[in-house]
A and B are shown apart, each in its own frame.
Chain A
Amino acid sequence: MIQQLVMYEEELQQINRICEILHRDSNAKAVLVIDKNGQEIAQAGDTQQLDVTSLSSLTAGNVAATGGIAQLLAEREFAGQFHEGEKTNVHISIVGQRVILVVLFDERSSLGLVRLRVRKAAAELTVVLEVMVKKSTLGIGQPSVFSEITDDDIDNLFND
């Protein structure tokens, strides 16, 4: 079975900080970190107008499809994607083979600048992710509350 991803406060704060710095330094509109299954992990910048949940799921689908193409072409993966719009551009990259870093930017920035800043942020994110995976594997960080869940707790969720 594939390792479950567990996010603790400390790592999330670090990821948030990396997103904020990337957002600022790349003059981006918004930055998102998404897990490969389409769950949003962190965001920075102007995300209030965005449907982050849908964006996350579609981006993960896109990355998965591109990964499928890579396999067919005997490539390990395509590490990055760039979509150019009239107003908004999207830079997508896979970090640490686990998460997806999405940068939305407009004419105030450029692809070159975004690429440069993403490279630095990706290196930092990789370190945090490694710690996260290690903690998840060892089950340290915080005691699990789930072992205490009762049948009643679960049933109560479904009371109409």
Chain B
Amino acid sequence: MSFINYSSREINCKIVYYGPGLCGKTTNLQYIYNKTNPEAKGKMISLATETERTLFFDFLPLSLGEIRGFKTRFHLYTVPGQVFYDASRKLILKGVDGVVYVGDSQMERMEANIESLDNLRQNLQEQGYDLDKLPYVVQYNKRDLPNAIQMSELEEQLNPTKVPSFEAVAPKGIGVFDTLKAVAKLVLTELRKGG
């Protein structure tokens, strides 16, 4: 649910990075944080365990500039990927404007990918959303690993609706901003439709 403030001329939107445990959701946000000008970002917050696994969420506020005199602010969130944090994932999806699904390209994570994608669809439904109607993009992370599956197979398994998808190596930043830009554009386009 984007929040439009006519008084301060701001548009605030919420984007959630979803995906299985250790797929690189937090790494995406960290890269964005490290590569963004200080004036365009707020503090990045990570509610993580002692072993740096996301416990509740990561949060990064970003300003993307002005559109028709309105400041556009994007709040980026990640969910905890581990299966047993499902209750937390549901909470973070509340009020979402756009979703990035981060898949892990490794062969042995295929089952976890599919489970997480099903979980995303299910949890959105519980909140009254339909993934097919939301601004939504897919990122295939860890493309540099030797055990990465072919793109065609990933697309077939994880992107049946053929939304925009991107290959990524998140620690090196490959594909990270392309993914963010794509989902942000879709969110703003959706806003225009509703406007």
Contacts and interface: CB of A to CB of B under 8 A. Distances in A.
Contacts of B1: 2-5, 37
A156 B64 CA distance: 10
Contacts of A5: 1-4
Interface string A86-115: 000000000000000000000000000000
Interface stretch (B21-29, B143-151, B154-162, B181-189): B181-189
Contacts, number: 124
A26 to B, nearest CB: 24
A61 B91 contact: yes
A61 B47 contact: yes
Nearest to A151: B189
Contacts of B72: 157
Interface in A127-142: 141-142
B191 interface: yes
Contact of B4 (A6, A37, A68, A156): A6
Interface stretch (B5-13, B101-109, B110-118, B164-172): B5-13
Interface of B: 1-8, 12, 14, 42-43, 45, 47, 56-57, 59, 61, 64-65, 67-70, 72, 75, 87-88, 90-92, 94-95, 127-129, 133, 181, 184-185, 188-189, 191-192, 194-195
Interface of A: 1-9, 12-13, 35-39, 41, 51, 53-54, 57-58, 61, 64-65, 67-68, 141-142, 144-149, 153-158
A48 B7 CA distance: 20
Contacts of B57: 61
Q: At the interface, is chain B mostly helix, strand, loop or mixed?
A: mixed
A1 B95 CA distance: 10
A158 B185 contact: yes
B3 A7 contact: yes
Nearest to A148: B68
Nearest to B45: A54
B172 to A, nearest CB: 18
A94 to B, nearest CB: 13
Contacts of B47: 61
B61 A4 contact: no
Contacts of A148: 68, 195
Contacts of A153: 67-68
Contacts of B67: 149, 153-154, 156-157
A77 to B, nearest CB: 13
B3 A65 contact: no
A2 B188 contact: no
B94 A1 contact: no
Contact of B194 (A37, A68, A146): A146
